Amino acid sequence: VGTELWSAAVSAAPETAGPDALFGALRAAAGALPGFLHDLLRLEHRLWLLRARSADVPASVDSLTVNPTVTVEAMSWRGLPGLLDPEADAATVPVEGPEHVLLWIDPQEKRVRVKAAANDDLLALKIAAEDIALETVAAEGGIPVGAIDNLIDHAARQGLLLAPASKLRRDPSIFTARRKSDEEFLVSDSFTLQWHITQVCDLHCKHCYDRSDR
């Protein structure tokens, strides 16, 4: 809308004005506006309100939990998150059509994040919110439980879900983290075991990395 028009509209609007009032002031001053502007103002307003909620994210949880800052917004235009991402393609143009947008505070980086909601994201949120057994979801969808595990893990890595810390940790009296990046080498989400059954293996399996001379 241009810096001059934007500044004039903001100055004329009350301090407590929400996106509707600001959109009305802009439309009164400019007349024709981009069709997606109203949704964009709503989205930016939600992001602004969300920035004050970083303290709402708990430092740890005892069970899989939905990030309490997660908000789902229904939009009438698709592609709006791309306008708010500094790394997105500058040529991104919103397209009219329904889309749900997720907003939340990243528990690791403590910053606000926004993205178009994928079906997997919404399913992960539903599973955690309603405490649905993964086996039930897998059976209804006709897919392996491992696929649901991966879906939940991806949502937790994004910060949409909060997962309890793994109890599989190296002995802290022997191994300590000297840098922040060392943490990934000290903890594991799963326990693994190598079992070498006999000494008659010819070591010819393509996937084998055992190079002992026994």
Residue 183 corresponds to which tokens in the numbers above?
């943490």
CA angle 125, 42, 162 (to 5 degrees): 25
Residue 16 corresponds to which tokens in the numbers above?
């407590």
Q: Is 155 helix (H, G, I), strand (E, B) or coil?
A: helix
Task: List strand residue ranges (DSSP E) for 64-185, in order.
Answer: 65-66, 71-78, 95-105, 112-116, 161-162, 168-169
Question: Which residues have a Cβ under 8 Å from the Cβ of 17 and sit 6 or more positions away?
Answer: 25
pLDDT band at 90 (very low <50, low <70, confident <90, very high): low
Cα gap 54→110, rounded to integer Å: 7
Is the pLDDT at 131 greater than 90? The verdict is yes
pLDDT band at 112 (very low <50, low <70, confident <90, very high): very high
Query: Where is average pLDDT lowest: 31-35, 116-120, 199-203?
Result: 199-203
Contact 151/124 with Cβ under 8 angstroms? yes
Query: Where is average pLDDT lowest: 61-65, 100-104, 170-174?
Result: 170-174
Query: If we measure between CA atoms, which residue out of 110, 113, 127 comes closest to residue 71?
Result: 113
* pLDDT score of 154: 95
Instruction: Tell me what percent of the residues of the chain surpass a pLDDT of 90.
Output: 46
pLDDT band at 157 (very low <50, low <70, confident <90, very high): very high
Q: Is 206 helix (H, G, I), strand (E, B) or coil?
A: coil
Query: Where is average pLDDT lowest: 89-93, 143-147, 181-185?
Result: 89-93
| 32, 122, 156, 164 from 39: Cα distances, Å | 15, 21, 28, 36
Cα gap 103→69, rounded to integer Å: 8
Q: Is 168 helix (H, G, I), strand (E, B) or coil?
A: strand
Average the pLDDT over 107-126 and give the result: 93
Tens digits of residue pLDDT in 55-71: 899 988 999 999 999 99
CB atoms within 10 A of CB 190: 7
Query: If we measure between CA atoms, which residue out of 179, 164, 180, 71 comes closest to residue 121?
Result: 71
